[in-house]
């Protein structure tokens, strides 16, 4: 039984609540107390005893296992990396590219899932295809699944790469459908999960994902500089490490008589010393999310975002984010129908009301997490200028 309710509005567990109504978990999350505490302990131990007390490498397998459990993977399929872009770049460099090969993604993707593929296109003469966003009958911005599959069906398509949730619209893609198509048609499927992992269910097996990357600093409630990269077991030994250093190899402690034999696990993508302070916090964040339960967290986020949508719509704002079926996410994007200056609204909220929302791609964006309260949502709606 989840004890999530005890964390809602809890200022001891989420100190940010003492000063802010914070709705930018799609940007960077404030640290829960338990996460900051784990990082402080690491710093204190390192200050007083260097590496002698912190078990800095013995706990890495536990961190990989915790990450694997969040996405339905195996521990040996997880590498600990710095950020989402590093993981995407490993995947991008995994294929033997030929001129004319196609990479399919969508317009409005976050740059971490665009520039690595632009580099591949520049270097090898591949073509980056970006499926356009449309406005549906309800006024929501989205990229239709059918359009993605149509672009992916081109015989030259090698890779389909998507964010699970789009940062500028909040659209959640049907990864299971895309993954099934890619698996059946010999396409590589790459996923940026930073806008879903920690808020929504992710299952790499069921979704037939080949590679997945996610930083921990958004919905996973962790610090910056700690991220995971998933590589499907069958692809590990065919995937080249992006950077090679002391730790990629089987026997990293063998000096002088060097043996360049790469690890047979996703550890082959870990090149050197780790962000151990960040990983200590990341582990604490994953333990918190696991304890509260992904189903309870997802349901709570759905309740809060529905409340945002109902409130902003009632004040005359147009909701951009699609919400039908399983398209919804923790992100709500909306625009003023009366031409209010979105940037001015966000600036005033921050300066005068200690409310943090942001503007992305010309749209106001709110992204609450499970610990936010209904009263906070109502305050946000009340203070929005009417249309």
Q: What is the pLDDT along the chain (387 residues), one digit of tens a residue?
A: 358 999 999 999 999 999 999 999 999 999 999 999 999 999 999 999 888 876 666 689 999 999 999 999 999 999 999 999 999 999 999 999 999 999 999 999 999 999 999 999 999 999 999 999 999 988 999 999 999 999 999 999 999 999 999 999 999 999 999 999 999 999 999 999 999 999 999 999 999 999 999 999 999 999 999 999 999 999 999 999 999 999 999 987 777 789 999 999 999 999 999 999 999 999 999 999 999 999 999 999 999 999 999 999 999 999 999 998 899 999 999 999 999 999 999 999 999 999 999 999 999 999 999 999 999 999 999 999 998
> Which residues are bridge partners to 131 per DSSP?
106
Rounded-to-integer distance, Cα 105 and Cα 67, Å: 26
Q: Count Cβ neighbours within 10 Å for each residue of 93-119 and write b for 16 or more, e otherwise.
A: bbbebeeebbbbbbebbbebbbebbee
The two structure tokens encoding residue 3 = 């004890």
- The pLDDT assigned to 55 comes to 66
Q: Can you tell me whether residue 352 is helix, strand or coil?
A: helix
- The pLDDT assigned to 254 comes to 72
Query: How would you class 229 by CB atoms within 10 Å of its CB: exposed for 0-12, middle for 13-18, buried for 19 or more?
Result: buried
| 283 alpha-carbon distance from chain centroid | 16
Domains of the chain, start order = 4-23+293-383 (3.90.1150.10), 60-291 (3.40.640.10)
Residue pointed to by tokens 């360049």: 260
Q: Can you tell me whether residue 259 is helix, strand or coil?
A: coil
The two structure tokens encoding residue 180 = 């099934």
- The pLDDT assigned to 266 comes to 98
- The pLDDT assigned to 345 comes to 97
- The pLDDT assigned to 1 comes to 38
C-alpha triplet 369, 18, 214: angle, nearest 5°: 30
Q: Can you tell me whether residue 148 is helix, strand or coil?
A: helix
Helix, strand, coil % over all residues of the chain, rounded to 5: 40, 15, 45
- The pLDDT assigned to 101 comes to 98
- The pLDDT assigned to 2 comes to 59
The two structure tokens encoding residue 285 = 């964040």
Q: How many beta carbons lie within 10 A of that of residue 224, not counting itself?
A: 16
Residue pointed to by tokens 């009632």: 314
Q: Which residues neighbour 255 within 8 Å (Cβ) at sequence distance 6 or greater?
A: none
Among the residues of 144-275, which ranges form H helices?
A: 145-152, 175-184
The two structure tokens encoding residue 268 = 């082959």
């Amino acid at each position: 039984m989840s004890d999530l309710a005890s964390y809602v509005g809890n200022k001891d567990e989420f100190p940010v609540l003492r000063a802010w109504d914070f709705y930018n978990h799609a940007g960077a999350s404030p640290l829960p107390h338990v996460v900051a505490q784990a990082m402080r302990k690491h710093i204190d131990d390192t200050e007083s005893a260097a590496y002698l007390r912190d078990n800095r490498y013995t706990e890495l397998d536990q961190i990989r296992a915790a990450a694997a459990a969040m996405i339905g993977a195996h521990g040996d399929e997880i590498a600990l990396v710095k950020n989402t872009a590093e993981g995407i770049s490993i995947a991008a460099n995994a294929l033997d590219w030929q001129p004319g090969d196609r990479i399919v993604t969508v317009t409005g993707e976050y740059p971490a899932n665009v520039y690595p593929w632009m580099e591949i296109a520049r270097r090898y003469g591949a073509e980056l295809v970006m499926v356009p966003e449309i406005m549906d009958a309800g006024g929501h911005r989205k990229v239709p699944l059918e359009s993605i599959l149509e672009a992916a069906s081109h015989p030259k398509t090698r890779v389909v790469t998507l964010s699970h949730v789009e940062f500028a619209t909040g659209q959640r893609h049907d990864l299971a459908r895309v993954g099934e198509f890619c698996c059946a048609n010999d396409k590589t499927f790459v996923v940026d999960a930073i806008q879903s992992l920690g808020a929504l269910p992710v299952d790499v097996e069921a979704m037939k994902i080949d590679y997945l990357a996610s930083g921990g600093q958004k919905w996973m409630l962790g610090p910056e500089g700690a991220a995971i990269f998933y590589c499907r077991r069958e692809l590990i030994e065919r995937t080249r490490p992006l950077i090679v250093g002391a730790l990629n190899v089987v026997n990293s402690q063998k000096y002088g008589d060097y043996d360049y034999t790469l690890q047979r696990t996703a550890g082959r993508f870990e090149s050197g010393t780790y962000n151990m302070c960040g990983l200590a916090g990341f582990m604490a964040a994953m333990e918190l999310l696991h304890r509260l339960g992904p189903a309870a967290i997802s349901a709570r986020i759905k309740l809060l975002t529905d409340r945002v949508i109902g409130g902003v719509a009632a004040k005359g704002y147009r909701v951009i984010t699609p919400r039908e079926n399983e398209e919804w996410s923790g992100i709500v994007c909306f625009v003023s129908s009366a031409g209010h200056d979105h940037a001015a609204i966000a600036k005033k909220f921050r300066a005068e009301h200690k409310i943090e929302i942001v503007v992305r791609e010309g749209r106001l964006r709110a992204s609450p997490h499970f610990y936010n309260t209904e009263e906070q949502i109502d305050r946000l709606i009340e203070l929005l200028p009417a249309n």
